[in-house]
Amino acid sequence: MKQILALNAFDMSAAAAQGGALAARLQQRARLFGAASVLFYRQPLEFVRAQGCWLYDTTGTPYLDAYNNVPSVGHCHPHVVEAATRQLGLLNIHSRYLHPGIIDYAERLMATLPPALSNIAFTCTGSESNDLALRLAAKFTGAQGVIVTEAAYHGNTESVSMVSPSSHRHWRAPAHVRVVPAPLGQPQEFITHVASAIDDLTLHGIKLSALLIDSIFSSDGVCADPPGFLRAVIDAVHRHHGLFIADEVQPGFGRTGTQWWGFQRHQVQPDIVTMGKPMGNGYPMGAVLTRPEILKSYCDEVGYFNTFSGTPVSAAVGQAVLDVIEREDLIGNAQRVGNYLRDGLTKLASRHATITQVRGAGLYLGVQVTSAVTAESIINALRERRVLIGAAGRLGDVLKLRPPLCFSTQHADTLLGALNEVLASADPE
């Protein structure tokens, strides 16, 4: 299995070979950040500004961003920037003081979710959100067993890292964790795998606490269809008194089109929903939403407080993001442009044998190619054509497309044109 940080990563040992100022910058970074220094591409990029779906390097050259989901409504959206700047000039303090903005934002965000999820705890990151969600589930169920997919990524705290196989170069599941294959191509088998995992936990004397998945199966290689295939899985989890934690960091906020949340495509009811930085367009914020009895069970014994979450500034930013999604019809845009892009990719697949399958929903698409080596080659060839995409999948053989939600059909045409050029150059004579 490919470690998520190793997908299309720059080899820092090649820094000196880059030459000139770039080599010096790379060597300085390696010296300061050590083994934690990770960069994309065979030839790294240095960006100095951004707007909408475009990133600009030090020479002012624009690159089309079809990769970054964190700036969900577009890089440096002026409405979001103005909201953050205005509130920073007034007040930014922790949430143990009353502030109308925080309450108003919580009410508005909850209105997009099932009514039963009526309590919220703010965090700063998706990692913190998933960490808290696991603790809530364990306390409420009195159990420890967790089921995740085999190439899942849910964050980087210690407990979340233990349920994120793709974070590790050599991963062995802890005793309380079971991994199941992602439902790529055969979603009807997912229920069988989850049921077997529950049985195996029981066999080893471990009760089920939670199934933790993101409904687009992003790190596993992207799987969205058919809508509704998760219902039988969640029913099985609930029959065994476990909870369903819906990690909405990547599929949430309308990215999959038609609805606010990825889990809604499957008509399922999560017990806990987690969110991360896309809710702030890159501003560091996250959230956990759950039923009151689940949160109370935890807080009766432990309590929860986070200094930098739920601040007036994060509330102002969050409100601005919701404004933009609604005013600019970005959920509808994700559906329309996502369908347009998927159709274009399917046409490319009919002409180029390198593409073996196109999957996804809205503006979260996965393009299966023949190998991880091929995927890396395509990604770097697109980078040379100033189009940025990523990689995913257990083997690293899936092109991952998740642009800002303001991605247009014109942007899609640029991406499709560049990808067609790359694939044509690789086609046999």
Average pLDDT over residues 9-31: 80
State the pairing for strand pair 387-388/62-65. Answer: parallel
| Paired residues of 211 in beta bridges | 147, 244
Instruction: Give the residue among 127, 72, 84 at the shortest CA–CA distance from 314.
Output: 84
Contact 223, 359 (CB under 8 A): yes
Q: Please give the Cα distance from 34 to 31 (Å, whole number).
A: 6
Say if residue 315's pLDDT is above 80. Answer: yes
- pLDDT confidence band for 289 (50 / 70 / 90): very high
pLDDT at 402 over 60: yes
pTM for the structure as a whole: 0.94
To which residue do tokens 């390097």 refer?
57
Task: Report d(CA 119, CA 90) in Å as an integer.
Answer: 27
Place of tokens 């490919």: 2
Tell me the pLDDT band of 2, cut-offs 50, 70 and 90: low
User: What's the confidence (pLDDT) of residue 119?
Assistant: 98
Would you state the pLDDT for residue 3? 64
Show the CA angle centred on residue 258, arms to residues 254 and 261, nearest 5°.
Answer: 40
Q: Across 332-374, where does the E strand assignment appear?
A: 355-361, 364-369
Residues 6+ apart with CB under 8 A from 212: 130, 133, 134, 146, 147, 148, 152, 154, 163, 245, 247
Q: What are phi and psi of 322, to 5 degrees?
A: -60, -40
Helix (H, G, I), strand (E, B) or coil at 149: strand
Residue 308: name the closest of 72, 49, 125, 106 by CA.
125
Strand order, beta sheet including 243-247: 119-123, 286-290, 272-275, 243-247, 208-213, 145-149, 177-180
* Separation between Cα atoms, residue 325 and residue 111, nearest integer Å: 14
The answer to whether 154 and 160 are in contact (CB under 8 A) is: yes
Q: Give 181-235 pLDDT, tens digit per residue.
A: 999 877 889 999 999 999 999 999 999 999 999 999 999 999 999 999 999 999 9
pLDDT of 16 higher than 90? no
pLDDT per position as a tens digit, 114-153: 999 999 999 999 999 999 999 999 999 999 999 999 999 9
Whether 44 has a pLDDT exceeding 60, the answer reads: yes
What percentage of the chain has pLDDT greater than the value 90? 82
- Name the pLDDT band for 29 (thresholds 50, 70, 90): confident
Other C-beta atoms within 10 Å of 36: how many?
Answer: 7
Are 243 and 294 contacting, i.e. CB atoms less than 8 angstroms apart? yes
Residue 1 has pLDDT above 70, yes or no: no
pLDDT recorded at residue 360: 96
pLDDT attached to residue 428: 60
Domains contained in the chain, CATH given = 45-73+329-426 (3.90.1150.10), 78-327 (3.40.640.10)
Could you identify the residue written with the tokens 């100095």? 48
Bigger pLDDT: 305 vs 83: 83
**Measured between alpha carbons, how far is 185 from 359 in angstroms, rounded to an integer?**
9
Q: Taking all residues of the chain, what is their mean pLDDT, rounded to a whole number?
A: 93
Q: Which pLDDT score is estimated for 22?
A: 80
Q: Residue 4 — pLDDT band, cuts 50, 70, 90?
A: low
Question: Diameter of the chain by CA atoms?
Answer: 69
pLDDT for the residue numbered 391: 94
pLDDT in tens, 361-385: 999 999 999 999 999 999 999 999 9
d(C-alpha 40, C-alpha 9), whole Å: 5
375 - beta bridge partners?
A: none
Instruction: Answer yes or no: is pLDDT of 255 > 80.
Output: yes
Q: What average pLDDT does range 306-316 have in this prediction?
A: 93
Where does residue 1 rank: exposed (0-12), middle (13-18), buried (19+ CB within 10 A)?
Answer: middle
Q: Which residues contact 224 (CB under 8 A, 6 or more apart)?
A: 215, 216, 217, 256, 262, 265, 359, 360, 361, 364
Query: Which amino acid is located at 161 in the chain?
Result: S
Q: For residues 24 and 30, what is the distance between their CA atoms, to the nearest angstrom?
A: 10
Distance CA 251, CA 400 (A): 13
